[in-house]
Structures are given as C-alpha cells and as structure tokens.
Structure 1
Amino acid sequence: MVSEQLSYGNNPDVKTILILAANPTSTSSLRLDEEVREIDEGLRRANKREEFKLEQKWAVRSRDFYRAMLDCQPQIVHFSGHGAGQDGIVLDDETGQPALICADALGSMFKLFATKGVECVLLNACYSEVQAKAISQHVNYVIGMNQAVGDKAAIAFSVAFYDALAAGQQVEFAYELGCSILIKYLEQQTPVLFKKEQISIIPSQPEIDIIPPNPYQGLAAFGEEDAAFFFGRETFVNGLVEAVKKQPYSKTAHSLIKHTKRSGV
C-alpha cells in the first residue's frame, strides 16, 4: 500500500522518492519500518520539503517493482532489504518466500525507466554493488553496498542521504554525508557511488596547412638528401653529354658558355 504523502501542492518540480521494501519471512528481520519512518520525518522537517514526496511499497515482488515505478513515476528509487551478491537482490514471491532479481534484469528495467525520469537509485542492501553497477549504465547516480552492512548503519546512511537531498544538496554531497555518518559504525567504505559514464565528443581538429620544406638552399650545397629538389635541368645536362661525345672538349666548352649567356641558365 502507498503511504501518506508529503504535502507538495502543484509544484511541477517535485521529486518523487519511491521506497521499495522486501523482507521475506524466511530471511533475517530488518528494521525497514524504522528506516522509512526516519526518512519520512527527515523530509517533513527539511527546508525543501515541498520539493519531495514519498511513496512506499512493501513486500515487493518482481511485478510490484515495475508496477510501482509505472504508477509513481519516481525520480529516486530506494530499495530496502537483503542482497545476495552476484545472485541479485531479494524480493518476495507470491508466498512470502525469497525471490531473486538479478543484475541483468534490473539493468534492463532501469534502462527503460531512466527515459521516464529516474535519476538516482539507492540499493540499501548487502552486497548490492553488482546490481548498482549494472543499473548505473543507464541511471545518472546509483549507490550500492560492497559488503554486508549492519541494520543500524544502513538506516543511518539512508537518513543522512535524504536529509542532505531535502536540504537542497546534490547527490554527491548527500552520499559523502552518509558515508561520514558511517564512520562511527566503521562502515564508511561500504556504500559505493556509481555515476553513469558520459560519452565525451572530441571536437574535430582544425585542418592545418602543412608547409613543405624549402627547396632553396641559399649558399648551401645540394647533397644526396636534397635529390628530390634537384630537377628541371635534365635537357641541359643531356645536351651537354651529347656535345662532349661529338666535339672536342674546347669547342664544347666554348659552345656551352655561349649557350649559357644566351639562355640565362
């Protein structure tokens, strides 16, 4: 069932926080009601309380998970319950027994709901880092737990997190505040924040005109390495070779001098 909502008027900028809770009968008991109550009270007393409303869904089954998001269209989704590492997070089945939902299924689901406004997901469950990472491919901010987290620590983190958001702080600040509160429990390293990878578009580089090397050596002599620049005198050289073959050297030289003066070569 859905809890009493905060008074938020007709503000179009209101953010809906959807809390999905599951604690199957055969799993260790969690103080989920205390966690939700503390979050609710924190939101009610906050400076920005009119910017948030709180929705709750208990004994969540797999279909309840997506139904609640369809109904509430939340910007923030908070899961409270147990986690099972690689196997997933623990929901209820139709008989109240544990039912797992894996990282791939969560990632696929949040890929759709990210397009409907989901901006942040908090998986307040043990060993939920794997699921958080999968969801973070599609949602801007996702928090999971990299190991077991105590019940008191889990409550303390989530309350501080939402207190900060309700005071107008950004997600990163709220996360850091929550972690700082966990120092007293020696669990400040347990929550992990993932941010969706942003694809940066590298601007195209402007075309640069490549200036070729200067073929004019000035007073320097041409060498073998300058062969590519030494061209255009083949006709003169070939004529000189033929002239040397046909005439004595002295006549050839005299003719060459006259030709040079006339042609300006």
Structure 2
Amino acid sequence: MSVAMYRNKVQSLEKDIASIEKDLGKEQEKLAKALKSIQRTKSTSTLNSKQREVTNSQKKIGDLKVKKANKMKSLNQALGQLHRSEDRELKKNKTAELKHTKAITNELKNQQRISKEILENPISINFESLPEKINVLFLASNPTDQSSLRLDKEISLIHSKIRASEYRDSINLQSRWAVRSNDILQAINEVQPHIIHFSGHGSATNDIVLETTEGTTSLLSKEAVTLLMKTMSDSIKLVIFNNCFSSGQAEAVTEHIDCAIGMNEAVYDDAAREFAAQFYSAIAFGKSVQNAFEQGKLSLVLAGIEGDDIPELYTRPGLKPNEMVLVKPAQ
C-alpha cells in the first residue's frame, strides 16, 4: 500500500473517531438531563420513564466507548504503517537521487574525455564547403489509431532552442504534418533538406509509422526508407529517426548518407523531445554532430529523464562524426 493510501486510511479513521466523540457527547448530555429530571420529579410514571432513559443512555455510552477504543486501536496501527511507509519512500528517493547524481557524474566525465580528445586532435574545417544555411525537414505523423503524441511540443521546443542559439539564422526549419508515404518525395524536392527529422511512432519491426488518407496507420519499411535515402541523397547529410525501435533504420541508411540517429528501443515522448531540442541547439551553436549527439543525451541526464542510453549514432564507413559540422558560423 502506498503512502497516500495509508494517509487516506488515517484521515478516515480520524473522521470516524470525531463522529463517535460527537455522538458520545450527545448521549452524555441526554444522560445528565435524565438524571436531573429524576431528582426533581415526584411522579412515579415520570420517574420510571426517566430511569429507562438513563439505562438506554448508559448502554449507548458504553457501546460508543468500546467503538471508539477499537477505532483508536486501528488508528494507532495505521499511523505505524504510515510512518514505516514514509521511511521506505524516503530511502527509495535517496537511492534514486544517488543514482541520478552518479549518472550525471559519469556523463560529465565522458564529456570531459571527449573535450580533451578534441583539444588534443584539432579539427581542420573548410568552412567554404559548408552551406550558408542548412534546411531541416521535420516530418510528423500521429495516426488516429495510435497513442497520442505531443509532436507540436517537440517542434516548438526545437524551434525555441534554435532561436536561442548563436547561429540561429543558419537553420531553416520547415515541417510537414500528417505525413503520408507519397508526401515525402514532394517535401524533399521542395525543401532540399540537409537534415530530415522523422517524428512519431515506430514499430518493433523497424517500420516508420505514417498515415493513410483517412488518418490511420500506414507503415514504411526499413527497406523503403533505405531506398528513399539512396534516391534522394543529394543534399541529405543527416537523418534523425525520433521514433521507437528505429536504430535499425538509422544504421541501414548510412550506406547512402553521412550520418543517422535512431532509437534502440521504445522512447518516451518527453525524452524524445528533450534529446532532439538539445541536439539542434548544439548544431545551431556550430558544434559537431558527435558533440550535439552527446549534448542531447546529457540533457536527459540533467533533466532526470530516463532514456539517455536509447539514442544511437551511426555514420557512413570512414567518416568521423566529431569532424562533421553542419552550421557555418556567421561571417
């Protein structure tokens, strides 16, 4: 039983005892009045009537006292259970807090290690080869027969992070909603994206969940996604699959594009939002794909959100993600 349930039980017993005490007070008043009447009356019939009232009141008072004693016993037991439950909850919270602190410490050490490696191995970047502005295509699908996701909150948070970044004008974020399979080619041709971001549901069989014309589920297979990237890879540098069970898709498409991010298992809505927002924030500060990926995972740890081990980063063989910088600093 939870702490809240024990507290409710204690409150209920306290109300019962208060009600018994109120009834007890009424009966004691009735007894006192009956005794006074006996002292004053001279009528035999009245005397007999009041004696019966005295007897009834005394019996009710005795019953109420027994009932109160039983309730008090139950209350003491409930209070003991409540205190023990609160102690267990406190220990549990302390354990979770220690675990969270340890995770943050480990992740910070990892960040320090990566920073040291970057300092020891300076990256030579040819900024002339980078685009003046990169286009991000956000593809959102949330069919009516699937659980509801707050994809609007995801793009809103991403947009806010980009607007707060140093090179915010270097990122052009465009979105398409209720995406069907035949919408994707049109959107890619229109936007010419450097980054494609799939947001929504994924299946355990490595499919992306899109929508039909009626708004119900339509599946896009890993093989179809890979063929799509092979055909449309002219401008695409990075694909983010912010869907459950999408690491297989991410790994497969790097045969044709430089880099991809996927999720190795089911990912909660809040974790997906937080990771993506911080990733784009780092990209918009001119950080490498590797550093942005690590920052996205670190943001989950710092926010106390589970799932920092779920995102996976894949690159085309021979490429190094710590050398991939997508945003050109403003001149």
Residue by residue, what CA displacement relative to the aligned partner does 1:119-174 show, whole Å, maximum 9, x if unpaired?
A: 00100011111111111111111000000111110000000000000111011100
The one of 291, 296, 303 aligned to 1:178:
296
Distance in structure 2 (CA, Å) of the matches to 1:189 and 1:120: 20
> 1:168 corresponds to which letter in structure 2?
G
Residue 179 (structure 2) pairs with residue 60 (structure 1): yes
Give identity over the alignment, percent. 38
The one of 255, 279, 288 aligned to 1:137:
255
Residues 155-194 of structure 1: pairs in structure 2 closer than 5 A: 155-183=273-301, 184-194=304-314
Residue 222 (structure 2) pairs with residue 103 (structure 1): yes
Distance in structure 2 (CA, Å) of the matches to 1:193 and 1:137: 14
Match of 1:226 in 2: none
Distance in structure 2 (CA, Å) of the matches to 1:89 and 1:15: 24
Q: Is the 8 A contact 2:206 2:246 kept in 1?
A: no
Kindly state the Cα deviation for residue 24 of structure 1 after the two structures are TM-superposed: 0.3
Q: Give 5+ residue unaligned stretches, structure 2.
A: 1-129, 320-331
Q: Is the 8 A contact 1:125 1:144 kept in 2?
A: yes
Match of 2:170 in 1: 51
Kindly state the Cα deviation for residue 85 of structure 1 after the two structures are TM-superposed: 2.6
Alignment partner of 1:50: what SS? Answer: helix
- Tell which deviates more after alignment, 149-158 or 35-44: 35-44
Match of 1:71 in 2: 190
Match of 1:13 in 2: 132
Q: Is the 8 A contact 2:259 2:314 kept in 1?
A: yes
Residue 153 (structure 2) pairs with residue 34 (structure 1): yes
The one of 102, 122, 130 aligned to 2:240:
122
Q: Is the 8 A contact 1:85 1:130 kept in 2?
A: no
Q: Could you say which structure has the higher helix fraction? A: 2
- Tell which deviates more after alignment, 184-193 or 156-165: 184-193
Q: Give 5+ residue unaligned stretches, structure 1.
A: 1-10, 200-265
Distance in structure 2 (CA, Å) of the matches to 1:173 and 1:98: 35
Specify the structure having the higher radius of gyration (Cα). 1
Kindly state the Cα deviation for residue 12 of structure 1 after the two structures are TM-superposed: 5.8
Distance in structure 2 (CA, Å) of the matches to 1:70 and 1:87: 25
Match of 2:63 in 1: none
Distance in structure 2 (CA, Å) of the matches to 1:12 and 1:84: 34
Q: Moved runs in structure 1, 4+ residues, more than 2 A?
A: none
Q: Is the 8 A contact 1:22 1:59 kept in 2?
A: yes
Distance in structure 1 (CA, Å) of the matches to 2:309 and 2:164: 28
The one of 195, 204, 209 aligned to 2:315:
195
Q: Is the 8 A contact 2:241 2:262 kept in 1?
A: yes
Match of 2:270 in 1: 152
Alignment partner of 1:43: what SS? Answer: helix
Q: Is the 8 A contact 1:18 1:54 kept in 2?
A: yes
Kindly state the Cα deviation for residue 87 of structure 1 after the two structures are TM-superposed: 4.5
Q: Is the 8 A contact 2:137 2:174 kept in 1?
A: yes
With normalisation by structure 1, the TM-score equals 0.69
Distance in structure 2 (CA, Å) of the matches to 1:55 and 1:70: 13
Q: Is the 8 A contact 1:85 1:129 kept in 2?
A: no
Q: Is the 8 A contact 2:162 2:281 kept in 1?
A: yes
Distance in structure 2 (CA, Å) of the matches to 1:87 and 1:179: 22
Kindly state the Cα deviation for residue 89 of structure 1 after the two structures are TM-superposed: 0.7
Q: Is the 8 A contact 1:87 1:100 kept in 2?
A: no
Kindly state the Cα deviation for residue 69 of structure 1 after the two structures are TM-superposed: 0.5
With normalisation by structure 2, the TM-score equals 0.55
